[in-house]
Amino acid sequence: MDVGAINRGGRPQPRVLLRRIREVLAADQPADARLQEIVEVTATNMVAEVCSVYLVAPDQRLVLQATEGLNPASIGRAALDIGDGLVGRIASTGEPINTDDAPNTPGFRLIPGIGEEMYQSFLGAPIRRQGRTLGVLVVQNRTHRRYGEDEVEALELIATVIAEMTDSGALAGGQNGLKSGEQGPLMLRGVGAAEGVAMGRVVLHEPKIVLQNPIADDLETERVRLHAAMDAVRGDIDRLISGEGQSSRQRADQLLRPGEHRDVLEAFRLVAHDRGWLRRLEAAVAGGLAAEAAVEKVQSEARARLERTADPYLRERLSDVDDLANRLLRMLLGVAPPSPEQLPEDAILLARTLGPGELLEYGQSRLRGVALEEGSAGGHAAIVARALEIPLVTGLKGLIHAAEADEPIIIDGDVGRALLRPDGSVSAAYQEKLTLRAQEAALFKTLRDQPAVSKDGVKLSLMMNAGLVTDLPGIAESGAEGVGLYRTELQYLVTTRAPRRERQTQLYERVLDAAGDKPVVFRTLDMGGDKQLPFLKGEAEDNPALGWRAIRIALDRPLLFRMQLQALIRAAAGRSLSVMFPMIANAEEFHRAKELIEVERMRHVSEGREPPREIRVGAMLETPALVFAPDSFYREADFVSVGGNDLLQFCFAADRGNPRVADRYDPLDGAFLRLLRAVVERCEAAGTPLSFCGEAAGRPLEAIALAALGFRSLSMRPAGIGPVKRAYRAVDLGEARVALMALLASDADSVRPGLAAICEEMGVKL
C-alpha cells in the first residue's frame, strides 16, 4: 500500500487520494482490477472499514462491482433495484445519505450474504454524469460515527472521478447501461409531445465529452481556466442580451418575437451570475478535480436538487442549469456549439432538456425533429414545438448516450418513439409514410380554398387554435376561417416577467392584423393547473387542475386580468373583438367577468379613445356543471366554446397530463357525447352560437361525430384542417346523424367502431 494514500490525521485527504487514483488509472490493468484498487485506496484514505462501488447494469439493477471489507464472493452477484435499500435510494434521488445508525434509517435493507450486518455508520454518494445515474459509492464503519461535511465532499469528488472514468470505459468493463458505439438499431419508447414523423441525422445539443483526465494536474492552472471560462460565458450572455455582435437576421428575429426571447435570456443571466455556482465550482477544483470535472459535479448536484422539486417553474430552470454547464464545458474544451446555419438539412436535435428560447433559436428551417431525454408533453418546449410544427418526442432515457452525431435516426411524435440507426426495412416503411403524407399535404393544399360542406350541403366552420406569434402564418396556410381559440397565456409561459400592457396591446394588434377580416377569439389568461406562469406563482396545491386557476385567479386578483382586458380593448379599436373566459363553472363567474369588460370599455371611452366596433363575450364550457347552468347563462353568453380537453378530463375524472390515464377514455365514448348533446340542445334553445375547440376537433372521425351532434364550428390545430375537411366533404351528415343517434341508444360504451364502419361505407377517408 502506498503510504501517501494513508490518512494519518483522521480527516480525508482528497488531493492525496485523487493523486493516488490517477496512478491507479494510469497503470495498465483490467477494468475490474482498477476499480478494486480504487475502493481499497479510498477505504484507507477515509479510515473506513468498507468501501464499495455499485454500478447500474443493463437490466437497470445496481450490482456490487468492487468492495473492500464486504464479502468478495458477492461481487457481480449482490444486486438491488433502484429505489431499494439505502444504496437504491441514493441512486433514485441523486442525493447522498449520511447516517450513524444505518439499520434504523428508513429504507435500510440487508442484502443476504454480503456481510454488512455489523456496520452501523453509512455514507453513500451517487455516481452520476450528465443527468444519468451510473451507480453508487459507499463507505461504512462499525462504530456509530457521523461523517463530517469534508468527508461527504471527499466521497462526492471520488464519485465524480468514477463517473467520468466509467463513462469513458476505463472502469465499466462493458457492464453498465447503454454504451455508445453499439452499432445496431435501437428503439426507445417515450412520449409523443408534438405530432409528426421526422427522419434525419443526429445533432447533439450538448457537447459529448469524454474526459481523459478528470483529476487536476495543477490546482492553480485549473482555477485560472475555470475563471476564464466563467468570465467568457457571462460576457457571451451579456452580449446576447444587448444584441451586440449578432447578425442583423438574428436581431430581426428577436424583434419579431417581442419579449419571449429576451426574457428567457434574462432568466438565464441570473443563473449565470449566481455566486453560489462559482463557489461550488471553486470548491470542487480546490478538492483536486480538473475544471471540466468540477463543472460536471456541480451540474449533477444542481440537477439532483431541481429534479426533486415539485415546483414546475423551478423544474423548468433545469434547462438553464444544463445550458450554463454546456456553455462552460464548450468554453473549457474549445468546442463550438452547433449553430442553426451549420445544421444539416435533415437535423434531428437530441438534448436532455431544451428551453423554449433555445428551440426558437434553432428555428424551423433546418430542424426536422427533436428528441428529448426529459421534459413533458405539457412543457414549454413542447408548446413551442407544436407551434413550429416540429415533431417532438420526450422521455427518451438513454438516447443521448447511445447516439453519435450524424447517425441516422427516425422520431415518431405520433406514437412517441425514437429509432436510432434503423435498419433498411424500417427506414423504407417510414420513408413510404412520409411520401404519403407529402402527397396528402399537396392534396390538402388544393382543398385550402374550398368550403367545408358535407355531401348533403351542411356547412361547417373550420377555425384554428393559436397562441404564439409563430402561429400566425398558419391562418393563411391552413385555410382556416379564423382563429377559434387564441391561447393568450402561451406567450407568457415563455417569459419571466408579467408583460406590460403596451406590449400586450402590440401583440394583440399583430394578431388581429395577421387575421385581417377573419375573426379571432381571444381566450383570457388560462393559468394555474398545468400552466404555471413564471411571474405568478401561487401556493403549491394538491390538485392544481381542480385548484386556483384560470377565471378563479382572474376574479380574485383582477389586476392582471383587467390589464389584459384593457390591452384587448385598445388593440381592437374600431374592429370587432371576441373574448372568452376559461374554466367558467357557474353563471355568476361569467356574469362578473363580463361586467369587468364593460367597466373597462367605459373607462376606455371616457378617456376619449376609440372603442372596438363590437365586443362579443363568450364562455369556455370546460366543467360539467356549466352544462346544467341556469338558462340566464346561455342567454347572457354571446357564444359558448366547448374546451373538450378539460371537459373530457373532468367528465371522466382522468388527469389529461398523466400518461397513465390521459388516453384511457375515448372522446367518442357515449357518455361524453350525451353530455355534448345536452350542450347543443341548451345552446339551440337559447339561440347561442356554439363551437368546439379541444384537440378532438382536429381528428376526422371525432369532427364528424361533433358535426352530427349539431356543432357547426370547430377550432383545431392548423394541421388538422386539411384531413377534417377532406373527410367532412365526403360525408352525408344526415345519414351520419341517424347512425350516431342509433349508436348512442345502444349498449356500446364507445361509438368509435360503429361510426368508423359507417364512414367507411360512405367512402370517407379517416
Where on the chain is the footprint of ligand PEP (CB under 6 A)?
485, 487, 526, 622, 643-646, 693-694
Give 756's contacts (C-beta < 8 A, 6+ positions apart).
701, 766
Residue 313: C-alpha distances to residues 384, 478, 493, 528 (Å): 17, 34, 10, 12
Residue 412 binding: pick among ligand PEP, Mg ion, none (C-beta 5-8 Å cut-off by kind): none
487 binds, among ligand PEP, Mg ion, none (CB under 5 to 8 A by kind): ligand PEP
Q: How far apart are CA 726 and CA 766, in angstroms?
A: 9
Which of residues 361, 374, 471, 646 is near Mg ion by CB under 5 A?
646
Q: Determine the Cα–Cα distance for residues 217 and 549; give it in Å rounded to an integer.
A: 55
From Mg ion, ligand PEP, none, which one binds at residue 297 (CB under 5 to 8 Å depending on kind)? none
Round to whole Å and give the CA distance between 130 and 132. Answer: 6
Dist. CA 176–CA 161, nearest whole Å: 16
Query: CB of residue 226 vs ligand PEP: minimum separation in angstroms?
Result: 44
Q: Which of ligand PEP, Mg ion, none is residue 485 near (CB under 5 to 8 Å by kind)?
A: ligand PEP
Closer CB to ligand PEP, residue 409 or residue 468? Answer: 468
Q: Which one of ligand PEP, Mg ion, none is in contact with 694 (Cβ closer than 5 to 8 A by kind)?
A: ligand PEP
Q: For residues 110 and 483, what is the distance between their CA atoms, to the nearest angstrom?
A: 62
Question: Rounded to whole angstroms, how far apart are CA atoms 254 and 236?
Answer: 17
Residue 264 interacting partner from ligand PEP, Mg ion, none (CB closer than 5 to 8 Å by kind): none
Nearest approach in angstroms of CB 694 to Mg ion is 8
Among 643, 670, 700, 723, binds Mg ion (CB under 5 A): 643
Q: Which is nearer to ligand PEP, 167 or 481 (CB)?
A: 481
Query: Cβ 647 to Mg ion, closest distance in Å?
Result: 8
Residue carrying the nine cell digits 422539486 = 309
Q: Which is nearer to Mg ion, 195 or 622 (CB)?
A: 622
Stretch that binds Mg ion, among 207-215, 645-653, 720-728, 736-744 (CB under 5 A): 645-653
Residues 128-147 that bind Mg ion (CB under 5 A): none
Burial of 95 (0-12, 13-18, 19+ CB in 10 A): middle
Closest approach, Cβ 500 to Mg ion, in A, equals: 26
Q: Which of ligand PEP, Mg ion, none does 356 bind, CB closer than 5 to 8 A by kind?
A: none
188/533 with CB nearer ligand PEP = 533
Count Cβ atoms below 10 Å from residue 334 Cβ, excluding itself.
Answer: 6
8 A C-beta contact, residue 254 and residue 243: yes
Residues in binding contact with Mg ion, number by CB under 5 A:
3
Q: How far is the CB of 701 from ligand PEP (least distance, A)?
A: 18
DSSP letters, 183-197, are -S-EEEE-EEEE--E
Catalytic residue among 51, 651, 683, 693: 693
Binding of residue 722 to Mg ion (CB under 5 A): no
- Residue 693 is a catalytic residue: yes
Q: Which is nearer to ligand PEP, 116 or 622 (CB)?
A: 622
First to last CA, the chain: 74
Is 401 known to be catalytic?
A: no
CB of 467 to ligand PEP, least distance (A): 8
Show the binding pattern over residues 603-622: x = contacts Mg ion (CB under 5 A), - = does not: -------------------x
Q: How many CA atoms lie within 13 A of 38 on its CB side?
A: 35
Q: Minimum distance between the CB of residue 397 and Mg ion, rounded to whole angstroms?
A: 30
Phi, psi dihedral angles at 98 (to 5 degrees): -130, 115
Beta carbon nearer to ligand PEP, 124 or 643: 643
Distance, CA of 653 to CA of 650 (rounded, Å):
5
Binding site partner of 116, from Mg ion, ligand PEP, none, Cβ cut-off 5-8 A by kind: none
Amino acid at 175: Q
Q: Give the C-alpha separation, 749 to 447, whole Å.
A: 34
Q: Which stretch binds Mg ion (CB under 5 A): 187-195, 402-410, 530-538, 642-650?
A: 642-650
Decide whether 140 or 649 has the Cβ nearer to ligand PEP: 649
Other Cβ atoms less than 10 A from the Cβ of 349: the count is: 25
Q: How far is the CB of 552 from Mg ion (least distance, A)?
A: 13
CA quadruple 721, 723, 725, 727: dihedral sign: negative
Q: Phi and psi at residue 282, in whole multiples of 5°?
A: -65, -40
Torsion sign, CA atoms 676, 681, 682, 684? positive
Provide the minimum distance between the beta carbon of 496 and Mg ion in the complex, in angstroms, as a whole number. Answer: 24
- Eight-class DSSP state of 103: G
Q: Smallest distance from the beta carbon of 668 to Mg ion, in angstroms?
A: 19
Q: Which does 391 bind (CB under 5 to 8 A by kind): ligand PEP, Mg ion, none?
A: none
For residues 18, 23, 27, 32, the Cα torsion angle rounded to the nearest 10 degrees is: -30
Distances (CA, A) of 208 to 164, 167, 212, 350, 352: 12, 11, 13, 11, 12
Report the residue number, 237 or 714, with the smaller CB distance to ligand PEP: 714
Question: Closer CB to ligand PEP, residue 618 or residue 694?
Answer: 694
Residue 598 DSSP SS3: helix
User: Which of the choices ligand PEP, Mg ion, none does residue 693 contact, using the CB cut-off of 5 to 8 A by kind?
Assistant: ligand PEP
Cβ distance 548 to 584 under 8 Å? no
Identify the active-site residue in 205, 380, 401, 604: 380
The torsion angles phi and psi of 422, rounded to 5 degrees, stand at -65, 150
Binding site for Mg ion (CB under 5 A): 622, 643, 646
Tell me the catalytic residues: 380, 693
